[in-house]
Each structure stands twice: as structure tokens, then as C-alpha cells.
Amino acid sequence: MAVEGFECRLRIIFATKKSENPSFKQEEFAKKVGISRGTLSALVNEHSLPNFKNAYIIAKELGVTIEEIWVQVQ
């Protein structure tokens, strides 16, 4: 379910990361980017959108653009 006209692709990106590196953990990723596990969960489950700073840090850490994570939907 998209929030405020955006679909979050973090679930897909994290699944890909996990298949490439079985030791990948969302909790460790959350710590690395400076957000709580609960905040990351809310983003992944499309219950909220991040502020720009967090979106930028998450995208940079994943090596993708913000637009690749949060896709605008009509």
C-alpha cells in the first residue's frame, strides 16, 4: 500500500541484499543509518515516509537513488 502517493521498494531491496549477503540484518542497517528499528519497519511496511535527510542517508548506504526506493504512483 502506497503512502502519500509513493510506493516503497525497501522490502525488495532488502530481500536482494539478504540473498547476496545472508548475514544482512535490517536492525544493523538501521543502526548504520542512524534510525531506530521501529522507524525502519514503518518505512519498509509503508506506514510512513522518511524526511529528506533519512531518505538521502538510506539511499546512499544502499548505493541507489531515492527515486529507486520511493517510487511515485498515481
How far, in Å, CA of 62 to CA of 14, rounded?
Answer: 9
| φ, ψ at 70 (rounded to 5°) | -110, 105
Give the pLDDT score at 74. 78
In a domain, 73, yes or no: no
In a domain, 1, yes or no: no
Please identify every stretch of the chain with a pLDDT value under 50, giving residue numbers as ranges.
Answer: none
How far, in Å, CA of 24 to CA of 2, rounded?
Answer: 25
Residue 24 is part of a domain; what is its CATH number?
Answer: 1.10.260.40
In a domain, 57, yes or no: yes
Give the pLDDT score at 9. 96
Grid coordinates of 65: 537513488
Give the pLDDT score at 2. 62
Give the pLDDT score at 6. 87
Strand ranges inside 1-74, DSSP E: 6-8, 70-72
Structural domain count, the chain: 1
